[in-house]
Structure 1
Amino acid sequence: MADTNAPLLIKRYASRRLYNTETSDYVTLEDIAGFIREGREVKIVDLKSGDDLTRQYLLQIIAEHESRGESVLPIGVLTDLVRSYTTQAQSVVPEFLAMSFEMLRDGQSKMVENMTALNPMASMPGFEAMRAQQEAFMKAMTGGMSGQWSGPAASEDEGGEEAGDELSEIKKQLAELQSKLSKL
């Protein structure tokens, strides 16, 4: 069995085909996206030169999802990211983005915990199945971001107060849903 804590090594051949070294088969970008959604770290290297191509392929995966209408990154965030490459903000943007997603991940974990701990229905038969469905729903809605994250989030200009307001609104809606579930 493969060590799921170690990064999954994907080798890119001269033909641009991607080879999964654990399963000894070729994979697509969508396969790699699936590994990442499952919480797996990946490392993509060029077979001939040994260059690390991970960043390039992760950006390509994001670009493909965005171009298919699966927009996660608002235009303002994308614009701010482009600006950050030409300003002195470039040095703080990566840290800010990493911290933002860390906070988002922690908030999601706490929200799922609170749904279980504060719910009087927890002792009812079938509650565990319903909770599992809620967790699956949350994972689907967030694209499985509960695994390790090392990518971008909203920039400080875009995400500051608006992100807090959005989070408050989400918490409010979740509380209303929880209240409705309790009444059932």
Structure 2
Amino acid sequence: MQGKKARASAKPAQRIIKKYPNRRLYDTNTSTYITLAEVKQLVLEHESFVVRDAKTNDDITRSILLQIILEEEAGGAPMFSEAALANIIRFYGHAMQGFMGTYLERNVQAFTDLQAKLAEQSASFTPEMWAQLTHMQNPLMQGLMGNYLEQSKTMVEQMQEQMQKQTEQMFGAFIKR
């Protein structure tokens, strides 16, 4: 009896989605074919999953996530400007590529955390409080934005320190020759 309870309360295994050569996605959890829109819904619901190529078993999750972003960007209300996309592309192959990825990831996470805190704290807002919030005069909003900006500043400082260390190492190698 206890074995059944332990299995029922155990965290379910990561969902596996297989992508077949015909470009169809198969959810092994539900034993059904699913669409890219349904994969997007899994992301929105914070569902843990991996997408595997059915033929090679390679993990192609990133590729599917990028495909979802591409469709969203083409959908009429893009999040990224051409300039932002060009700047991201310029970091590929650059010495700071790894740090840029970490920087973007941390900034998006900090913004997500900010959004969650704001949603949590604004659940009981009155119309007057919303009006004050939209004018950025609310101490709560100033505090949240201050925390976000401080995190962003710290990440930029870390990036600058890393660039300085790499420059020193590079010039040190030239001087030793």
Q: Partner letter of residue 54 of structure 2?
A: L
Q: Which runs of 4+ in 1 moved over 4 A?
A: 3-6, 174-177
1:72 to 55, 65, 79: 79
* TM-score, normalising length: structure 2: 0.62
Shift of 1:35: 1.0
Q: Which has the higher Rg, Structure 1 or Structure 2?
A: 2
User: Match for 1:26: what amino acid?
Assistant: Y
1:174–1:116 distance in 2 versus 1, CA, 3 Å: farther
- Shift of residue 172, structure 1, vs aligned partner: 4.3
Residue 173 of structure 1 pairs with residue 134 of structure 2? yes
From the superposition, tell whether residues 10 and 16 of structure 1 become closer, same or farther in structure 2 (CA, over 3 Å). Answer: same
Q: Does 1:25 align with 2:25?
A: no
On the 8 A contact 1:5/1:40 being kept in 2, the answer is no
Q: Does 1:39 align with 2:53?
A: no
1:69-110 alpha-carbon deviations (Å, 9 max, x no partner): 131122222111100103212120111111011101110121
2:19 maps to a residue whose letter is R
Q: Which residue of 2 aligns with 1:48?
A: 55
Secondary structure in structure 2 of the residue aligned to 1:88: coil
Shift of 1:30: 0.9
Q: Which has the higher helix share?
A: 2
What residue is the counterpart of 2:110 in the other structure?
103
Q: TM-score, normalised by structure 1?
A: 0.60
Q: CA deviation at 1:48?
A: 1.6
CA RMSD of aligned residues (A): 2.9
Aligned residue for 1:44, secondary structure, equals strand
Q: Deviations over 1:111-140 (max 9, x none)?
A: 1232247x4x6xxxxxxxxxxxxxxxxxxx
Distance 1:172 1:76 in 2: 30
Q: Which amino acid aligns with 1:53?
A: I
Aligned length: 127
Does residue 92 of structure 2 align to residue 85 of structure 1? yes
Identical-pair percentage: 30
Partner Cα separation in structure 1 for residue 103 and residue 13 of structure 2:
26
Greater relative CO (CA pairs within 8 A, separation 6+): 1
Per the alignment, do residues 56 and 174 of structure 1 end up closer, same or farther by CA in structure 2, a change over 3 Å counting? Answer: farther
- Cα distance in 2 for residues equivalent to 1:84 and 1:6: 35
Q: Cα deviations across residues 9-32 of structure 1 (Å, max 9, x unaligned)?
A: 100123221100111100111110
Deviation of the 1:61 alpha carbon: 0.9
